Structure 1
């Protein structure tokens, strides 16, 4: 399989444009101060387009992915092992990031928003859970406040379509078509991101002052440091688990091209060909690599798991909320798993998970989402590296546990 040469400028064009818009917006905010409020509507338009696209995008993405799974007895054990490995590495990466933010705590004295937080209705724990995972009328699924319920409903629709066999083929085609349309709609909306987020950032800098930059410097330093540590230490540990010193040498001797492809494209999907080629060189059985690598790209993301924890921590600091509560941390771990599933394998696709986190914790969407998106853009390259390489090392462990593969 041929791996295309990396065109750095082309691969990073969207990220560079977005960073350029943010930089220009910051300069305008510094120069004109509160006078930049006149361009805030451009940011509002961008965010409103995103808000309206989120619900159908999540529904079609999840439902179509589940509806197109192929069921065979041979793959039963493989799926169980794959699920266990994916969940384990996701939670481990999240715990590494939680440890990092505890060792290097993120404090922010500036409150981005003076608006009151959205309140959660009182009631028993059971009632709270019921309201979180379900709604009592279909139209309520169309609200972004019912994000978790929508995700669960989308999974159920996907499984129902899968069980319908030939009679459900037309509906599966509808889901596939809707998924493709919504992906293209997202690409169209994201072309406005440099202007939209640039306008928003100009507003934030102009209103709250240049000290706003301090909110991003330390979190980014912590994140990149934790990711580098996780990449070398834990991926090496995973390789040893997969097969000792031989597997260690096999992994680090064949992951260079996938690593460069991931960094050069900022896309887990674009790294699939390089990962498949590397997995073949690593002698991972074909039925393992052909299932784990393609499914891992959209569903398994160690880097996104870590960035999810970072964003939650930063938002909690900005809005003056306590992240040390055990219940808060447990919910954050649950969100990281969901984020890994609902995010697409495309650059800057993490906003879906960000919306979920913001909704669940009751933070003001209009102020919190742009901050989380900016962080997501800044951490995207190394997050993609962990996401893509995580699929490759997971394929090694899954092959070891399900097929007893040994590396020579």
Structure 2
């Protein structure tokens, strides 16, 4: 019998890179009609994405908050507060670094060259009037109301029907992400880049964003040093030994691009770091859904760069409310690649960036090309939090 050859599937990042390259080639060398067709497909996808986003918020945030009913009282509150605080600190550090470094290469001459990114771009042949069934603000309020309500009911032995409903609704949203949105993203990105290339702006924009990309990855690693340094001080452990023990979890996250898929390996890393069984099995899965420090660093840097490139306000008064809201909105960001940026899209208008169109799709493309590193930073930071919570637990409940 002949052995069947295993066909290796192309990962999402290579597909996105191919989409960018194909889009640039079509926009530069092909007739305008080809570009219009690709732009039309991209526009239809964008309308569908806008339609789905409120459901992503309702599905994941409601189920994520409702799950907190099974937590361990004070430890749940402490872990959630530390995770949110870490995400805020990560975003704030990213903003400070971006505000300091980016003006060195996003100069007034670069801004003048880029001008209006939409100038000279082609319009779609047709568009579909697909409006979201509920706006983003209403989706957030509804998700928090239902999530907190279900959590309260479950603490009284009720609410299981609603809890099951929203978990199954979450599964539908996950399926939509994994079977429609994520697979079609390369075509969406190709359409965006073909239009930018057609307008003659692609190289000006990419000359800025590769420098932003190079800034983001080291910033992830620096923040991990900060997190494990704090954890080592509080937990009285060697931070470098803990970082060494974290390597399998970090590499697994890079390979899978999913916090959820990395949980089993991450629990083993926490065990090597001396975290008690009770705490590591509670904190690591919880933080996999509520602690997104790496994602926050990436999104903050890309957002700041886009604002600077378009000569828009980008001070702390603009970015901090955005960072604070993202820290909450990305709770239970889907385990599929790109979950964080999908959760962040509705909040781009807070800083003046449309949640759909060329700039938004640029951010999606840039984020997804480094998503594996952001995820690795997220999950590695989870274990730093586990060490801190374990120490707090020993002080509160064991030491007299």
Kept after mapping to 2: 8 A contact 1:301/1:387 = yes
CA RMSD of aligned residues (A): 2.6
2:192 equivalent to 1:200: yes
Q: Is contact 1:305-1:340 (8 Å) kept?
A: no
In structure 2, C-alpha distance between the alignment counterparts of 1:169 and 1:141, rounded to whole Å: 28
Check the 8 A contact 1:112/1:318 in 2, yes or no. no
Q: CA deviation at 1:196?
A: 1.8
SS of 1:192's equivalent?
A: helix
Q: Is 1:293 aligned to 2:284, yes or no? A: yes
Supply the distance in 2 between the matched residues of 1:235 and 1:33 (Cα, whole angstroms): 52
2:166 corresponds to 1:175: yes
Partner SS state of residue 306, structure 1: helix
Out of 77, 80, 90, the position equivalent to 2:87 is 90
| Equivalent-residue separation in structure 2 for 1:338 and 1:159 (angstroms) | 14
Tell me how many residue pairs correspond in the alignment: 367
SS of the aligned residue for 2:232 comes to helix
Distance 1:174 1:188 in 2: 21
Which stretch has the larger CA shift, 205-214 or 304-313? 205-214
Does structure 2 conserve the Cα–Cα contact (< 8 Å) formed by 1:258 and 1:274? yes
1:127-276 pair list within 5 angstroms: 142-144=133-135, 147-165=136-154, 166-189=157-180, 190-209=182-201, 210-231=203-224, 233-244=225-236, 246-276=237-267
Equivalent-residue separation in structure 1 for 2:43 and 2:132 (angstroms): 23
Alignment of 1:3-402 (within 5 A): 13-32=11-30, 34=32, 36-71=35-70, 75-106=72-103, 107=106, 108-109=110-111, 110=114, 111-113=116-118, 142-144=133-135, 147-165=136-154, 166-189=157-180, 190-209=182-201, 210-231=203-224, 233-244=225-236, 246-324=237-315, 326-341=316-331, 343-364=333-354, 365-402=356-393
Distance (whole Å) between structure 2 residues aligned to residue 203 and residue 281 of structure 1: 50
The separation in 2 between residues aligned to 1:167 and 1:260, in whole angstroms, is 41
Q: 1:403 to 1:148 in 2, by over 3 A?
A: farther
**Maintained 8 Å contact 1:303/1:387:** yes
- Equivalent-residue separation in structure 2 for 1:38 and 1:385 (angstroms): 37
- Mean alpha-carbon deviation: is it higher for 20-29 or for 383-392? 20-29
Q: Secondary structure at the match of 1:68?
A: helix
Cα displacement string for residues 339-360 of structure 1 (whole angstroms, at most 9, x for unaligned residues): 4325223211123333133132
Query: Structure 2 length as normaliser, TM-score?
Result: 0.84
User: How many angstroms apart in 1 are the aligned matches of 2:197 and 2:169?
Assistant: 38
C-alpha separation in 1, matches of 2:233 and 2:301: 28
Whole-angstrom CA distance in 2 between matches of 1:90 and 1:46 = 30
Q: Find the aligned partners of 1:396 and 1:268 in 2 and give their Cα distance.
A: 18
| Matched residue SS, 1:164 | helix
| Separation of aligned partners in 2, 1:20 and 1:50 | 21
**Separation in 2 of the partners of 1:347 and 1:141?**
23
Which runs of 5 or more residues in structure 1 are unaligned? 1-6, 116-139
SS in 1 for 2:357: helix
